[in-house]
Structure 1
Amino acid sequence: MTEGDQGKLRAVTANTVQTFRYYDFVMAAFVAILLLSNVIGAGKVAQVWLPGYGYWPFGAGILFFPISYVIGDVLTEVYGYARARRVIWAGFGAVLFMALMSWVVVALPPAPDWTNQKAYETIFGQVPRIVFASCCAFWAGEFVNSYVLARMKIWTAGKHLWTRTIGSTIAGEGVDSLIFYPLAFWGAEGFTHALVVKLLFTQWALKVAWEVLLTPVTYLVVGSLKRAEGVDVFDEGTDFSPFRAKV
């Protein structure tokens, strides 16, 4: 979005009463990506061949989990911290419900002629330790990401979007990885301390790299949404407590 485009927007504070056209769609995309990342990629360690080094391990969730941080950046940049906070809590609740229902469905006694129970348990069985680690890491990381971006938007007077998206991701993804990998895998069978540390830093670096690569997409989406909504939200006077749901 150009400086000229920014001048056509109405700058408002986050607590301004406003009806948004696309906020609920962005929320739905955020929750969907979050659930998919937890179902498909959270517990699998894959590997990639690096020339001159060999195989390097990485968590498979890296393929799409960082997209939730990109959407989180879009939410905070376009709609403000308070509305992003509501989405984070919605995602947190969805993950908890998914974990509960996964446990219930796996625990249901299978029919005598159904032979796929073991495979079902392998795919959908939720390890309580990983669920706990994932929820804690998501909650803390997303709020750090949103807080840093909202504060930086005020400091930069709404300019230089790339500094906010990348800076907030460095902080948010750092907190996420620092919480998730030690809580989920430290001392677990098959995970040496060295492997946990390697996965932690690899995931953090790759997630930040994803954010950098997706910066043009972030600019495109943010610019389009701001023009469609007709506002540019600044979090001046916002209560940044994560333990609120009110806008």
Structure 2
Amino acid sequence: MSEARSHHRYYDLLLATFVVVLLCSNFIGAGKVAQLDLPYFGNVIFGAGILFFPIAYLFGDILTEVYGYAYDRRAVWMGFAALAFAAIMAQITIALPVAPGSYMAQYQQGMELVFGNSWRVVIASMLAFWSGSFINAYVMAKMKIWTRGRFLWMRTIGSTAVGELIDSSLFYFIAFYGIWSTHEVIAVALAQYVLKTAWEVLATPLTYWIIGFLKRKEAADYYDIHTNFTPFRVKV
């Protein structure tokens, strides 16, 4: 068990990758609702952001397990700041006057369609991410202490199940309640929750490999025994 807070070779790389994945999940996949006909489940409606967003929770599990809650907390705040900056700049870019010409008129329409999410959706996305990520990290850290570092699969799946429940519930009810029918909101939120949690289960072997690699290379395996779990700080 490593208690020292020292420089880590791979943390910055993980942080940058985490932020990229988070931005992709919100600006590439969030606006599209897809449908697949799955065996035993029938037609399942889900947001295309599911291709990206569960990876963010995988990063949260890895950062908390190897480096500790404080390092994941810093990553969450960096992701939150990146989402806020991207949302503001998207709105500013859309609001700029468009140059004349049919091409730019069509380009403007495309930008408004892809990046012109209502502020309700933006706020829902950011609040859901912030809440779900911190809860995921908190549960992961506490379970590591309770299990004395054993049963990694139980900790990664259990923490993700709790975090994703908060995330999916907050996002769809804040963003679409009153716009979609209550049945649609619940159905899509439930489908997202089940698919995201299933994604974590399937990714367990990959999670094991990455965590094992990082623990060996970083000589780090942090236990949050004396950690201040307030989310309102970035200090490690």
Q: What TM-score does the superposition give when structure 1 sets the normalisation length? A: 0.92
* Distance in 2 separating the partners of 1:51 and 1:28: 37
Equivalent position to 1:219, from 205, 208, 218: 208
Residues 1:183 and 2:174 are matched in the alignment = yes
* Distance in 2 separating the partners of 1:195 and 1:160: 36
1:46 counterpart residue number: 34
Can you list the C-alpha shifts for 1:58-78, whole angstroms capped at 9, x where unaligned?
111111210000011001001
User: Match of 2:81, as an amino acid?
Assistant: G
- 5+ long unaligned stretches in structure 1: 1-10
SS of 1:47's equivalent? Answer: strand
2:56 counterpart residue number: 68
Can you list the C-alpha shifts for 1:144-174, whole angstroms capped at 9, x where unaligned?
0000000001111111110110000010000
- 5+ long unaligned stretches in structure 2: none
The answer as to whether partners of 1:102 and 1:126 remain within 8 angstroms in 2 is no
* Distance in 1 separating the partners of 2:117 and 2:186: 23
SS of 1:232's equivalent? Answer: coil
1:138 counterpart residue number: 129
The answer as to whether partners of 2:31 and 2:114 remain within 8 angstroms in 1 is no
Can you list the C-alpha shifts for 1:155-213, whole angstroms capped at 9, x where unaligned?
1111111011000001000010111000000111xx21111100111100100000000
* Distance in 2 separating the partners of 1:141 and 1:165: 14
The RMSD of aligned alpha carbons is 1.1
User: Match of 1:151, as an amino acid?
Assistant: K
Residues 201 and 155 of structure 1, relative CA distance in 2, 3 Å threshold: same
The answer as to whether partners of 2:2 and 2:219 remain within 8 angstroms in 1 is no
CA apart distance, 1:126: 2.4
User: Match of 1:76, as an amino acid?
Assistant: T
How many residues get paired? Answer: 233
* 1:164-243 correspondence runs (5 A): 164-188=155-179, 191-243=180-232
User: Match of 2:118, as an amino acid?
Assistant: V
Q: Percent identity?
A: 53
CA apart distance, 1:17: 2.7
1:124 counterpart residue number: 115
Can you list the C-alpha shifts for 1:31-76, whole angstroms capped at 9, x where unaligned?
0000000001112110001346642211111112100000110010
Task: Choose 48-57 or 65-74, whichever is displaced more.
Answer: 48-57
SS of 1:18's equivalent? Answer: coil
The answer as to whether partners of 2:160 and 2:197 remain within 8 angstroms in 1 is yes
1:7 counterpart residue number: none
The answer as to whether partners of 1:162 and 1:215 remain within 8 angstroms in 2 is yes
Residues 1:94 and 2:82 are matched in the alignment = yes
Residues 136 and 51 of structure 1, relative CA distance in 2, 3 Å threshold: same
SS of 1:235's equivalent? Answer: coil
The answer as to whether partners of 1:173 and 1:208 remain within 8 angstroms in 2 is yes
CA apart distance, 1:30: 0.7
